[in-house]
Structure 1
Amino acid sequence: MTTDRATAGESAQPAAGIEVKPVAGHIGAEITGVDLADGPDDAQVAAIRAAVLRWKVVFFRGQRLDHAGHVAFARRFGEPVVLRRRGSASPPDFPEIETTADRLELGGRFGMDHDEWLRRRRHTLLRGWHCDHGARVDPPAATILRAETVPPYGGDTTWSNLAAAYAGLSGPVRAFVDGLRAEHRLGVGYQPRPGDDAYVRHLLDHQIATLHPLVRVHPETGERVLYVNGYYVEQIADVSRAESAAILDLLLEQATRPEYTVRFRWEPGSVAFWDNRATIHLAPSDNAHLGPRTMHRVMLTGDVPVGADGRPSQALVGSEPGRW
């Protein structure tokens, strides 16, 4: 997703009927006045792009996107990721789209029901916070998620602004974390089942790990971003494990402070478009008993993060730029 650097203005200037309405103090805006299925014109695309960079996640309601329209809209902002492995719920004719219902199948592949699968992966309050595919050396630049079927209540998603979280640190702490790097690894923190665990064997056979800067410089806005999340990160390089745990607790609590977050109530036809380089998000855990929730996701290819010290991320295992 490329554009000129974002300005510090409160919202994008109206373009061809578009209005950008901020919904929280540091993150999130609702965009009205555009029909995504009709294909936004160049001025509208520019306004949406600027709003994503400024507000980190933007929301559209009442959209009529189908799979083809979803992919076409995404292509206006970058190259969609094509995943090598998807579940049976994802549309076979649209390899750019991943359907969230696929995740219900994951535990079954390794001998667990979905609830146990989630408990073993997200066993602390902060562990579920993540950016998409953060263990890769080139995580996606952005994600566009649309709702097809949602329960009448529950199932909200929450995002946090990592640029605001970094700016909110004190000067000495910012200077301290600017030069640190952390290992992001697929499956970090998973609690194995007793005895032989099929998922542990899968992780060993399909490991992905990268050494990312703990503070990333956003390639488009120039902002410094607190590049931390609870799902992929467990160890900061070059410090002891005890020191790493204390530092990560401090930074994760900073990154998820309520004032840096926004929570979105989904409806059929809702679309969320977020900057995956400057946010982490938390999927809902209150809706399993409320009925089906079917969402469709397209991600845009990203670049290799660069730290405040000018050094890029380093792939450790299982990840090459541009190869999915």
Structure 2
Amino acid sequence: MRLLSHRLSGIVLATTVAALVVSSCAAPEEKVADDSASVPAPETGSIPVTVQQAYAPAVVEKAPTRIAALGVGDGDTLLALGVMPTTIAPFADPDQATAPWNADLIGDSQPVVLANTSAALGNEIPKALATSPDLITAVGADPTRDQFDLLTKTAPTILRPAQYKPWQVPWNAQTIQIGTAIGQPDLARRKIAETEAFLAGIRAKNPQFAGKTAVVVTASPTGGVSVYGPEDGRAQTVAGYGLTFPPVLRDTITSGFYGELPAESLDRLDAADIVVAVDWEGSNDKLRSNPAFTRLEVARSGRVAYLPQEVGSAMSVPTLLTIPWVADQAVGPLAEAAGSR
């Protein structure tokens, strides 16, 4: 998908397009979400609420009834909190709202798909506004100030907490931000507690993870690898299992949430107890056949966990829904790699 192709190849996300003029919102051809969009009644005393965030606070004065998810991962969180959003920004198949981790909750509903909110948010905004939302979530997006101002003319718009950079909001902070905005703060906290207990169970069942380091990479076309830093979703995912990012590799993270190791520097990966290789369009096959990688001690000793593309995509955006689904696919290979240390 477009988001992951930018992030996984280590290319800086394209800057969002220039501010939209009001006339750009007129899109009679845009698909409108079906009538299955729904929002549960707010918890007592939860609305009205002011949400602190980047740019300016959002004031939600009345209970929302139609919520558009403009940020990647926002749709998952809304679904987990009982909301059927009018739109979803997918991060697996860009043309499908559903993925293995959310298909049961979406069922037969047909939220409008916003296929490219990472690199071309301006193109997706009219589609979201065409669904007549009375609340917009863009926690997993990076709108310009002009785009934010445009969105707020239609509905209160929820952004990331100001202390976090774009694309680096932890899943629990994202859950609280969205849960507060929709009038479900207590449910959000309960869901977080359940997920944290789930992760604690993984750590308890896998004591071999304790004290070990892991680095998540994807092979690059030039023979090196992209390295995902501790603020990236993939690294956050393995951190939930008790694995930490190798401090000696911190200097490789030069572009926000990732960095590059050229082929001649791959030996630095031997500093990690485990290397987690997430596939992107056959990159794991290239890594397995790359002599500069296969000669490494971490590779020769079986301490590499190779994960398929769909799992890597889900890891990139930890949510209440992706975390348990990824664990089912990833913990086994990681445990095997950890046991080889």
User: Which TM-score band applies after superposition, normalised by the shorter structure?
Assistant: under 0.3
TM superposition score normalised by structure 1: 0.26
Q: Per residue, is there more helix in 1 or in 2?
A: 2
